[in-house]
Every structure is written in structure tokens, then in C-alpha cells.
Amino acid sequence: MDNQMSFIEKQFPVSKVSKESYKERKANNGQTLTGLGKWWGRKPLILVRAAILGCLMPCSDNPKADMDIFLKILSMDNDGLIDRKQKSLSAKELYEIAQGNKHFRQFLNEWFEVDGAKVKIRNGQDKNDIEMRLFKTLGYDDKLKYCVRPEQLETLRKDSWNAINHHLGTSAKSLNELVEQLSMQRYGRLITVGDCFSGGGSIPFEAARIGAKAYGSDLNPIAGLLTWANIHILGSNDDEVIEMKSFQEKIFNSVNAEMSKLGIEHNENGDRALSYLYCVEAKCPECGIKVPLAPSWLIGKGTKTVAILSKNGNRYDISIKMAASSKEMQIASEGTITSKGLVCPNCSMTTPISILRGDRVDQNSNTVSGLRQWEKSDFDFLEDDIYNERLYAIKYETKDGQRYYRAPNERDLANELNVKQIVSENIVSWQEQGLVPSMAIESGYNTDQVIRERGWTHWNHLFNARQLLIGKTLLSAVEKEKNTKNKVVGLLGINKCVDWNSKLCIWNAGIGNEKLQNTFTTQALNTLFNYGCRSSAAIDTTWFYAINQNQTYKNSLVEITDARDVNTISDFWITDPPYADAVNYHELSEYFLAWDKRLLQEIFPQWYTDSKRILAVKGDNHFSHTMIDIYSNLTNHMPDDGMQVVMFTHSDPAVWAQLALIMWKSGLRVTAAWNIATETESGGLKDGNYVKGTVLLVLRKQTGDDMAFLDEINADIRAEVRRQIASMLELENKEEPNFTDPDFVLAAYAASLKVLTSYKTIEDLDLDYELNLAINNPAQSSIVKIIEAAKKIAYDCVIPLEFESYLWKDLSNAEKFYIKGLESEKHGNYQISTYQEFARGFNIGGYGQMMASEKANTARLKTPVEMAGRTISEVPDFENSLLRTVFMGIYTGIKEDENPSRALGYIKNELPNYWDKRDMIKQLLSFIKDTKDIDNMTPHWEQSATMADLLHSLVTNDSI
């Protein structure tokens, strides 16, 4: 084994790790860590596992065998997928698979009985045997639908361990043993995996779970809490988990009993409230009437519940109606607040929000809100404030479980007054004791919104009286606990409850979904004109959460500290740093910190309870220098043969150049890069031109003092790009491709950075000056130009599988652009960003004339019929190309009675050197005719592809 190079530096199962990451993300609340609490942007655990094992596993001189073994370790090989298969396939699904597979169609009558739409397995046939034979024929994506995630498979089969141990020289029977043995082989000790931006804790948790020693640190105490909990709460034994669940039950029951005793959640019939709906009110400046504000008055689409406004003097009464008519539902869907402002139901005038709030512009041209700034102990609007708030609906549950909505009556309003009285009398002492928030809201990108839009100046202002009372009662009960783990379980429960019970919680009126959403449905603090509030009886769904038990390496360390001050040595640093346009974690986490201060101090006396905003990595002018300080520190705290993996989500060459220069100046050199698709729709990303991948940049320490001149290394970069892509193509699986075009482009970026960063200095390059250029004027940066050039080389190397390489070289850039675009469509990719990338890679401008559509997810090229005889003037290289002549031939043949002879006649007439070009014409026609057999292409390509097929036969059989 060559211990100098790790598996991840040579190859990586990009496609399979992407698919597994996507499956994990789609599990939403079924993910292992998300149940413990909110964090913005955890990386998939399978991605972390693959990265750590990829760094640990050495390369042999047999790359194919290395890949097979790596997939076995991750249970991503065929045997692993069979062992992970948990869901059964129905007889109908099996029938459809057999019907679609030419090798199994012969068994349809033998295996299945079909009666109309009903399908069943014939008597005497073994369903399990049929199912396994057919399951093995499925593609990776289809197999995954029936499989548990790799982390949910308890152990690999004996045959897999035999193969792994034989290849790696180990004797492991579990992943933990394998990690330990590979660690000893390589370092003579168990490896430490570190992450100084631990956030939601994916990296330290996964490291500890697979048996490595984990080090996790973060500047933020909430991140520290989650990371500690991942390792110690989820890593608890059976008895501890039973005790923690019993503790959750005890606290919930005690809070529930206390609220019941106060009598503030029951009505005159003894029914218990579950949800309260509140709305903001404001006077219409035009007519002076007080208007309740909501974007919609729909309360429940399933129960057909609506709020109905009726004028009563200078204000509106609000009645609640269940089983409303479709007309009433339609009326209720129109609210009194729109994006344009308050829409008065009395005078029909619209008042912009800024006018309503009385906003003005100060002498520095800053907008100043006209709202009253709330005092520290406030929890409600005052009578003469611009905004007021009112309770307009309550969802009740009867003793026998029936649920209904009603408008608040006198008893409900008396309960409401009682709650406000309790909070009013106690809030100052509660704040002094740390039982409800008292922290001021610091000005910031996200936090300015609540100050500007409501006048809220302290974190307690984001919670109404009921929410403050429930939060305080929970905190008081948890505080009495002595057991550290129980206390942490309680603190995480409080955080979940306050996320799901604040004035920023949207009421969802959807069918089967009439309930509150959480505060952080987005990465922002969005104020609402109407919101939902839970009663103490309804916090059960957030207070009780899954403790997904996992064995973890407990001798792991979690700290809260500035990444520049980390002083723990890690063999592998795996980091997902905040980037230039990152989420403002430091601001958003203060929402939780305002509640957690007291308990955090008691549980972790050595920790601070401040978000340390001033030290947070921000996307400002200091960003690159902060990052250099951090990564220089990590480089100093790793052994000479240690490794780093930096995860980031950008595909802009200028950003790559910045990152490369940061790493270079930190004493690191790039050895590889891989692009993993990790984002799902639920991650807040839409399809289209959005970054959906996470780049893994693999780095080692710079150990040499080599120096070079810029013009000397250009040849080295070209050679390295070609070598890198050739090695990836060699490993490519034609049936289940592992790499896409963006992967090859990223490999080219990495190859160029690998050459650049292998030198200590480049004689005619000032790194500080280059970094400044890459940030402020990328077009002038030598490094950006080098990376752009590498991309062009990559596109020259990535030849469609159906194309002869000697013919590909003779195509113009415009023809290559079209063919690569068509290849992408064959694979079902209709994203405009793909064409934009190809246009940059092949240096094509004005390609719009070649496109049938340029919309985000329906982008596609024109077919020969759609191009017809129009001139493609903006792309002369295409207009004058052989491909365009072939297209005109196809179009001519179709137009003239579907006659392929007319098509061939046109081409021969246009090309005096037809015989010299015959091989290329056959190649182009062959590439086009295949489109008729691809489902997603048939609708628009069938006519052109059929003519191309006929024309291909004529050209093939044409003789002099």
C-alpha cells in the first residue's frame, strides 16, 4: 500500500455519495441529528463519513479494486444495497420491472397472474426469489427507494469484511475496528478528526460514531450545545435513554399540571385550548377605522374554517365559521394586508406599510421607523401604539378528542387578561432570575428587521404573554434537575419549544395541516401580521423529540472558542466554513441564547454565553484575512502527514481563486476536489440556476520550498488537467456514470490549483495583490485566468461517450457546444445553467439563437426542424459548420415528403468535400438519431431523429 496518498486524493464515488446525501436530506425529520434542534445548514452524515474514510483509506496500485472496497465499506456496493433493502416491492411493481427488462419478459406468464389492473404472484412461485432477481437489475436510484440509509445498517456481511480486510491488511469486523486499525497502520494511534466550525455538529458526531476521536469547536455556544448533545446524548446507553425519556415526561406533566391549575387554557365547558390565533390591528389613515390585519382569513382548508370581518362602529368584529361555503372560503382568502400595504375593507384605500409605520429619512439618508421602541419589560403593544394586537380565534379540544374553532368569548378574554396580569406582575423578577429573555437585540443584517418592523428591542418582545409564561414554567422545572444529561435534554427541548412558539410562527391553513410552523422556516426573523400560539397542552410535539441512539467515541472534546485560538492537534481537519454570503449564525442563534443563558452557565460553567458577534467570520473586507488566520492555525495544529477537507458551495472561478489563495497563504496545497450534490428542494433551493453541490477541497501541508515562474507552470497545469480527467474517464462506469460535466470542470480547477499550490512561491506573483484582485477585480487576476483556462482544457477533454476522439478534435467550439448540450438533454438535464457553463467553457456568445427555450428548468436546444432555414447569425461558427449543413439536410428531407434521398442530395450539393467528411457526417447522424429512443426527448426530436436514422443508413451504404 502507498501510505503517502489517500483514496480521496485519487478518486471518489461522486454520484453514489450525492444520491445517498440527497436521500438523507429528503428524510427531513427522520435525519439522525435534526431532532435535537435547529441549526442552519448541517452537512449530510454520509458525506462526512465518506470524506473521513476517504482520507483514512490508503491507495493501492489497483484503483478499480480500491473503489470496489471503498463502496463495500460504505455499503454502496451491490451486496450492501441488498443488505440495506428493507421495503418490499409489490407484485405490480415487480411485474412492471420484468416487463421493462428484455431478459425477464419471458418469465411474465410463469411468475405473474394478471387480472385487469390487478397483479399477483402465481401460486408455487417464490416471491422473495423473484424480487431479489429483479431488484438486482435496478439502477442505483431505484434501488435506494427500497433501502435504509448506510448509517442505519448495523453491520456489513461476512463476505464484505473478508474482502475489505484482505485488501487493506486489516482484521476488522466493524466500522469502528476498521477505523482503529487503519489509524494504527498510518499514525500508530487512533486518529483525531477536528472541526473548528462545528455548527450543528455533523462532522464531530460522525467522526465519533465511526470510532475516531472527535474534536469539535465553534465560536457559538448554541453550536457547542448541539455538538456536545450529538455525541453525549445520542451516544447514551439504554438505561440513560430510558431515564432521559422519563425526565421529558416528568417535566411535561408538571408544566401541564401547573397551567391547568391556573385555569388559563380551559373554557367554560372544560375544553382545553390547543392553539390561539392573533392578528395585528392598525387604524386606516384614510378613514380612521381600526382594521385587523392578516394576509388571509382562512383558518383551515380541511375544516373549511374562516374568520369573517363585520364592521361595528369604528372597528371590526371577527366571527369564526366552520364548514364555510366555497364563496365564503374565496372571500376569506383575500386578506387586509398585501405586499402593497394595508387594504382597508371600509374605504378600499391602500396604505403602504412605511406610511402606516410613519417611517422617515434622517440626515444620513437612513430610513428611521416611526414605531415606538419597546421597553425591556414590555410584552404587548400599548393602547396608543400604531400597532395593537388581538386574539381572534382559538382551537379547542373536547374531553373526547373532538376539535373545533371559535372566536374568543368573555371567558376566553378573561383568561387572556389573567395571563397578561401574571406576566405583568412577574416579568421584571423573571428577567432578573434569567427565567425569560432580557437580552437586548443587537443591530445586524437579520436582527434589524424586527426592530424596524415592530419596534422590538429585546428578545422577549418576540414572544407574547402566553409564550413567555410557558417558556418560564419549562425553564423553572428543568432548572431543578441535577443530572447533567437530563438538563441538556431539557435545554434542547426548551429551544425546540421556543422555535415552534413565538410571534414569528406562521399559521398554516393547509388541508390536513391546520397548525403552526416554526420560527425558522427560513434563515431570517420575519415579522408576521397574524400568527399562531401553542397552549402548554400542544407543546408535546416539540418538547418530546427522538433520541436516535448511536454508539459514539466518548473521549471526544467539544469546546466553544474562536477558530484562531484552537490548540488541539487533529490528524484530519474536516471543515465547512462560513463563506462570504453565509447565514448570519451569530445573529440568528441569539434567539435561542436569550433563553439559554442561565442553564448554559449552570451546565457548562467553563463556557461563555455570548454569541461573540464581533469575532464571527463575516463576508466583509476582513473575510479573507480572518480565513487565512484560521487556516494557518489549523495547519499549525496538524501533523506533517495530516490532511484537510474544506467543504464549500461555489462554482465561480473567482471564488475558487480566493479560496485557493487563502489556503495557499495558510501553508496548504490542494491535492483533489470533488463535487457532491447535497441540496434538496427543502433546503430552501429551487431548481434552476442555484448551487446545489458541495465541493470537497482536499489539502495537505506545503512541505517544499520550490519556486517557479508563472509562464513555466502553464504547461504543467495543462498536463495535470488532462491527466486528472483521463484518470476519471478511465474509472467511469458507462451504465451508471459517476461524474457529470461539472465534476470534470471542478477536477480541472483542482488540477490547476494542485500545480499552483505545490510551489512555495511563484516568482512573478504577489499573493496578497492576487487575493485583492480575485476579490475586487477578478478579470485582472492571473489565478482566475489560470482557472478559467483549465476549464477550457477540461471541456476539450470531456468527449461524449458515443464520439470518436479523433473526430471530436475536428469540431468547431460551436459544434462542441451543441453536442454537449444535446448529450446533457439525453440525460434529462434541462437547466439553463448547464448551457451557460458550456457557453463559457467553449467560449460561445449569442447562443440564444440555438435555443428553443432558455427558461430555468425547461432549457433546451432547437431541433433541425425548429431551426429550419433561419440564419444563426449570432454564432457564425455554427452557421458555417458541418453540423448546420447536416441539420439543413435533415430539415430539407422532412420538408420534401419525408424523403431521406433529398436530405442526402442537399448535403452533397452543399459539400464539395463530402467524401472527406463522410465519417464525421455518419458520427453526427449517429449521435442525433439516438434521441428518438429517449423518452424525455421523443416529443420534440422524433421527426428529426427518424430522418437522421434514415439518412445515416443512406450515408453508411453510399458508395463512390
For 737-771, how does the pLDDT look when each residue is reduced to its tens digit (9 = 90+)?
Answer: 667 777 777 778 888 888 888 888 887 778 888 88
| DSSP strand pairing (192-195 vs 572-575) | parallel
Are 872 and 883 found together in one domain?
yes
Asked whether 207 and 48 are in contact (CB, 8 A), the reply is: yes
State residue 174 phi and psi, 5-degree precision.
-150, 165
Domain that holds residue 339: 254-543
Q: Is the pLDDT of residue 62 over 80?
A: yes
Contact 320, 391 (CB under 8 A): no
For residues 322 and 342, membership in a common domain is answered with: yes
| The CA-based dihedral angle spanning residues 104, 110, 112, 116, taken in that order and rounded to the nearest 10 degrees | 100
Q: Please tell me whether residues 773 and 818 are part of one structural domain.
A: no
Please tell me whether residues 31 and 162 are part of one structural domain: yes
- Residue count (the chain): 960
Q: Are 771 and 855 members of one domain?
A: no
Q: How confident is the model at residue 685 (pLDDT cuts 50, 70, 90)?
A: very low
- Dist CA 876 CA 814 (whole Å): 9
Domain end among 744, 769, 796:
796
Query: Does 785 share its domain with 804?
Result: no
Q: Is the dihedral of CA 93, 97, 100, 103 positive or negative?
A: negative
Query: Is the model's pLDDT at 735 over the cut of 70?
Result: no
Residue 216: helix, strand or coil by DSSP?
strand
Does residue 244 form part of some domain? no
226 located within any domain: no
Same domain for 792 and 817, yes or no, is: no
β-strand partners of 2: 59
Same domain, yes or no, for 475 and 373? yes
- 147/12 same-domain check: yes
The C-alpha atoms of residue 173 and residue 164 are separated, in whole angstroms, by 10
pLDDT digits (tens, 9 = 90+) for 911-925: 999 999 999 999 999
Domain membership of residue 237 (yes or no) is no
In-domain check, residue 334: yes
Return the SS3 of 631.
helix
Same domain, yes or no, for 458 and 315?
A: yes
Structural domain contains residue 246: no
Tell me: do 78 and 28 sit in the same domain: yes
pLDDT range class, residue 32, cuts 50, 70, 90: confident
Higher pLDDT, 801 or 258: 258
Residue 880 cell numbers, joined: 458555417
Closest CA to 792 of 755, 823, 820, 762: 820
pLDDT-derived band at 582 (thresholds 50, 70, 90) equals: low
Residue 263 confidence (pLDDT): 94
Least confident range from 5-19, 388-402, 540-554, 823-837: namely: 823-837
Q: Which grid coordinates are listed for 615?
A: 469575532
Residue 82 lies in a domain: yes
- Residue 249 located in a structural domain: no
Q: What per-residue confidence (pLDDT) applies to 763?
A: 78
Stronger pLDDT, 377 or 704, i.e. the higher one: 377
Kindly state whether residues 835 and 762 are assigned to the same domain: no
Residue 164: alpha-carbon gap to chain centroid: 32
- Write down the pLDDT at residue 692: 53
Q: Which of 543, 562, 592 is the last residue of a domain?
A: 543
* 527 within a domain of the structure (yes/no): yes
SS3 sequence, 268-283?
A: CCCCEEEEEEEEEEEE
Q: Which of 732, 764, 796 is the last residue of a domain?
A: 796
How far, in Å, are 13, 25, 70, 432 from residue 20 at the CA level? 11, 9, 15, 49
Range with lowest mean pLDDT among 112-121, 749-758, 944-953: 749-758
The total domain count for the chain is 4
Highest mean pLDDT among 120-124, 771-775, 868-872: 120-124
Which of 636, 837, 688, 684 has its CA nearest to residue 748?
A: 837
Over pLDDT 70: what percentage of the chain? 96
pTM: 0.86
Is the pLDDT confidence value at 94 over 90?
yes
Torsional sign, CA 284, 287, 291, 293: negative
